[in-house]
Amino acid sequence: MALMAMAMVCHAQGDLRLNDLEYFERRGVNVLVFSNSFNGGFNDEKNSGIEIIHHGVRTVQGGAVRLNNTPEQWDLVPKMTDRKVDRDAGTISVTMRYDDYNFDSRVVATAKGKAVEIAVYLDSPVPEKLAGEAGLNIEFLPSQYWLKTFTMDGRLGRLPRYATSMTTTRPNSEKPRQFKGFRTYDDRGTGRFVDPLPLETGHRLSMATDDPSRLVTITSDAELRLYDGRMLAQNGWFVVRSILPKGKTGKVVTWTVEPHAIPNWTREPNIGFSQIGYTPEQPKVAVIELDKNDTPQQTATLMRLGEDGTATAAYTGGITTWGPYYKYNYVKFDFSQVKQPGVYYIQYGSTKTNDFLIDEHVYDKITDATTDVWVPIHMNHMYVTEGYRTWHGEPFKEGYLQAPESDHFDLHRQGAKTETKYKPLELIPGLNVGGFFDAGDFDIETGSNINVVQNLIRTWELFHPQRDETFVSQEQRYVELHRPDGTPDILQFIEHGVLNLVTQAEQIGHMASTLSNSVLDNYHHLGDAASITDGLHYDPSLKPYEVSADGKRSGTPDDMWAFTTRNPSLDLQAAGVFTSAARVLRGYNDALADRAQKQADRLRQEATALQRGSRFRRDRQADADNDWLTGTGDGNYRNVARNLQTMLDSIPMKDDAYRQKLRPAVEQYAEYIKSFDKQNPYGVPIGLGNWAGVNAVLNFGITVNYAHIYYPDIVTKDEVYRVANWLYGCHPYHNYSFVAVVGATRPKQVFYGNNRADFSFIPGNVAPGLLFRKPDHFENYDDWPFLWGQNEGTIAGNTQYIIFGSSLKNIVTGK
Ligand SMILES: [Ca+2]
Ligand SMILES: [Ca+2]
Ligand SMILES: [Ca+2]
């Protein structure tokens, strides 16, 4: 380890060089050139193109030929058609294409001393339609640059904390096409779109001249324009841009970009530990993430804070090496032997963590924020209030229209036939009842809502939580947080979810795929959900923005749509959940239980008939499950992980023989759990996808918990803390808890909730977590909420967390 660290030091001191992972590197600076390419996946592209990881933080991205001054989420992104790395020449060249305009360009990045030259080459001139629109862009992260100074050709400026620069409007005909022809804006009948004007223009720009860790200088013969992307969208970045010249080919624009490097910079150790603390008897191991140039300490010390505020050493122990994982080195500090309740912190070299508890009760409240605050705030079609604050009024009073044939910006599709008795754009009565907002957006994803009800039913049947902190009145369409009303909240949440789902089945005849926005310009809504639509029925006989004399209809096409293409497997899922719901609701809301049972029977019958052709596939699956159980198949870890939970769930209904038969599978699962200790230093499944994947971690946690409950001799109690440690702070990048407000000392502070424009959170939200950027970088911004892949929480994931947290609490307290 020491030898490797020294080798890194020797060559990292000099100029930018192209490393084995195909990016430019010098100590403190990584310049990535399309290691992550634009993929159009939900068109959220603040993760792609030329990127700079500057002293450990990805502060610059989006370097590419773009068609807008400040591209938004649904603006076109270029498709990378080729990427060549020439190690001898020290260049990375990328060709990109806009199919919509038959426009190809090539960007070549070359290390030149401490700078990188970025040049755009064209084989044919910029197409007429894009002349003056296509340019070389690169984007700077606002939260790392605002309030800092910049200079343009020596003129001084300060980057604004909030968007307050200038804009102009231009005819819509001049706007480059947006994704699938959708529009992110409502032009209010003006026929014009808003275009930001530059804050500054010139030929030499230095960003953050007052902060050596963020200082980047760009020089060019072409005009550099500095824009504030937040003028159009709260998730916009600061953009530097040079327009490609008209009618030219060859090397048309050249920039020299020099990110400053702090001499001998070494990243501060990231000491991962559980922010909520530890019970006295549980394993307690901090995972310390170290810069590869850092030399590990020999020991670390657990310090104890006395009631008088003094700190004394409670335990000093050795540091053990785990080894390299992607770009950092990992060591561990095991302080399990400290069992005395108290307030502690970890001292590692000169790094001191915030404090945490060792106490029997640290897990007692881990689900309260989610059940008392996050879930009720996401109840759709209700007015939701808390103390002096209204979270939202009653949304979508005008109800939902039958979707016409359409593609959709949130990945839905309505086929040519409605498959209902309704005509396109006809009101489907009654759908504006019950249901939960999907995530950071406000649609009802039927599949997710089915998951939610399943999760809540599972929670209810397993734990019977009587907690009552929420007032829910379906009659008043009113929810108040922290006001008990005599009914357990989980039961009311189940009722609320079932109300929407059953109404879908009754009114539509089968399950909608989603109830979602009809126009993109209100899909990205940030604010009170009740103000997304005007609450008036859409009437195409009125002019846009016109309201009928009786005040009940408007010509604004903002009503939500129900997407009704029939999916028998979704109907079967719904039937399953309706049967369970009828069981749970019986005695509490008999009328709804009856409705649920009736729809369950009908949907099951109809969907089974529709699915007759696919029986073969289901039989094959049953055979595979059986092979795996009896050990005759090629059962692997993945199969074990996928199937074990279902089997564990059925244990209470089965006899002892079944429990015995399952033992070999649980033994295999115990090995699977341990296998993660070799895969990464944190001992949990770490996802590398575009969605950071807390769901996989929670699934893992739930299965580990149940394997322990039924087979404590095979899966020991020590294993159940893995996922808790990860969620509450023991993970890469930073050590904040991924659960909003949960994590006594340092929970994450920003999430991609519907209040993300306020750089805030909704208590109890669970972030997806660590987003992996190729080839070797994990990140989770805690000053920038807007990347859904790392900071959004979903209704299905957060109700899954309730099961995880409830089962963990029960294990810890021995119930
Ligand atoms: Ca959605
Ligand atoms: Ca209640
Ligand atoms: Ca309306």
Q: Over the stretch 169-227, which tens digit does the pLDDT of each residue have?
A: 999 999 999 988 899 999 999 999 999 999 999 999 999 999 999 999 999 999 999 99
Determine the distance separating the centroid of ligand 2 and the alpha carbon of 332, expressed in angstroms. 44
Evaluated on CA atoms 412, 418, 419, 423, the torsion sign reads positive
Q: What is the pLDDT at residue 616?
A: 43
Determine the distance separating the centroid of ligand 2 and the alpha carbon of 483, expressed in angstroms. 8
CA distances from 45 to 211, 508, 783, 789 (A): 27, 36, 18, 11
Mean pLDDT of 102-127: 98
Token readout for 463 is: 């734990």
Gap between the Cα atoms of 566 and 166, Å rounded: 48
Residue 74 in contact with residue 411, Cβ under 8 Å? no
Q: How confident is the model at residue 694 (pLDDT cuts 50, 70, 90)?
A: confident
Among 99, 654, 93, 179, smallest CA distance to 407 is for 179
Starting from the CA of residue 560, give the closest ligand.
3
Token readout for 225 is: 């324009």
Mean pLDDT of 120-134: 98
The set of residues, in sequence order, having a beta carbon less than 8 Å from that of 223 and lying 6+ positions away, is: 201, 202, 203, 242, 243
* pLDDT exceeds 80 at position 620: no
Among 261, 255, 260, smallest CA distance to 64 is for 255
Q: What is the pLDDT at residue 7?
A: 40
Residue 301 in contact with residue 354, Cβ under 8 Å? no
DSSP string, 358-385: E-TTTTTTTTHHIIIIIHHHTBTTSEEE
Determine the distance separating the centroid of ligand 3 and the alpha carbon of 545, expressed in angstroms. 10
* Preceding omega of 465 cis (within 30 degrees of 0): no
Q: How confident is the model at residue 626 (pLDDT cuts 50, 70, 90)?
A: very low
* pLDDT exceeds 60 at position 6: no
Q: What is the pLDDT at residue 44?
A: 66
Gap between the Cα atoms of 341 and 346, Å rounded: 15
The residues placing their C-beta within 5 Å of ligand 3, an ion, are: 398, 533-534, 536, 558-559
* pLDDT exceeds 70 at position 614: no
Q: What is the pLDDT at residue 814?
A: 85
Gap between the Cα atoms of 648 and 66, Å rounded: 52
Gap between the Cα atoms of 749 and 745, Å rounded: 11
Mean pLDDT of 137-151: 98
Determine the distance separating the centroid of ligand 3 and the alpha carbon of 401, expressed in angstroms. 10
Gap between the Cα atoms of 646 and 624, Å rounded: 14
CA 582 distance to own-chain centroid: 33
* pLDDT exceeds 80 at position 396: yes
Starting from the CA of residue 487, give the closest ligand.
2
Q: How confident is the model at residue 32 (pLDDT cuts 50, 70, 90)?
A: very high
Determine the distance separating the centroid of ligand 3 and the alpha carbon of 554, expressed in angstroms. 6
Q: Using CB atoms within 10 Å of the CB of residue 288, give its burial: 0 to 12 exposed, 13 to 18 middle, 19+ buried.
A: buried
Residue 627, CA atoms < 13 Å, CB-side half-sphere: 12
528-562 per-position pLDDT tens digit: 999 999 999 999 999 999 999 999 999 999 999 99
Strands (E), 613-719: none
Determine the distance separating the centroid of ligand 1 and the alpha carbon of 164, expressed in angstroms. 30
Q: How confident is the model at residue 45 (pLDDT cuts 50, 70, 90)?
A: confident
Mean pLDDT of 518-536: 96
* pLDDT exceeds 50 at position 1: no
Starting from the CA of residue 471, give the closest ligand.
2
Q: Using CB atoms within 10 Å of the CB of residue 423, give its burial: 0 to 12 exposed, 13 to 18 middle, 19+ buried.
A: exposed
744 or 214, higher pLDDT: 214
Starting from the CA of residue 473, give the closest ligand.
2
Pairing of strands 383-386, 478-481: parallel
Q: What is the pLDDT at residue 639?
A: 65
Starting from the CA of residue 488, give the closest ligand.
2
Starting from the CA of residue 516, give the closest ligand.
1
Determine the distance separating the centroid of ligand 3 and the alpha carbon of 331, expressed in angstroms. 57
Percent pLDDT > 90 in the chain is 89
Starting from the CA of residue 539, give the closest ligand.
3
Determine the distance separating the centroid of ligand 3 and the alpha carbon of 422, expressed in angstroms. 18
Mean pLDDT of 132-147: 98
Starting from the CA of residue 536, give the closest ligand.
3
Gap between the Cα atoms of 403 and 560, Å rounded: 8
Helix (H) or strand (E) holding 122, with range, is: strand 115-122
Gap between the Cα atoms of 102 and 99, Å rounded: 5
* pLDDT exceeds 80 at position 641: no
Mean pLDDT of 743-769: 96
Starting from the CA of residue 438, give the closest ligand.
1
Residue 465, CA atoms < 13 Å, CB-side half-sphere: 26
Determine the distance separating the centroid of ligand 2 and the alpha carbon of 486, expressed in angstroms. 6
Residue 261 has a CB neighbour count (10 Å cut-off) of 20
Report the amino acid identity of residue 45: E
* pLDDT exceeds 60 at position 628: no
Pairing of strands 514-516, 216-228: unpaired
Mean pLDDT of 112-133: 98
Starting from the CA of residue 411, give the closest ligand.
1
Determine the distance separating the centroid of ligand 3 and the alpha carbon of 450, expressed in angstroms. 27
* DSSP conformational letter for 374: I
Report the mean per-residue pLDDT for the chain.
94
Among 607, 650, 603, smallest CA distance to 625 is for 650
Starting from the CA of residue 495, give the closest ligand.
2
Q: What is the pLDDT at residue 8?
A: 43
Q: What is the pLDDT at residue 630?
A: 41
Q: What is the pLDDT at residue 621?
A: 46
Rounded to 5°, angle at Cα 496 from 494 and 497: 65
Gap between the Cα atoms of 403 and 410, Å rounded: 14
Helix (H) or strand (E) holding 725, with range, is: helix 721-727
* pLDDT exceeds 90 at position 743: no
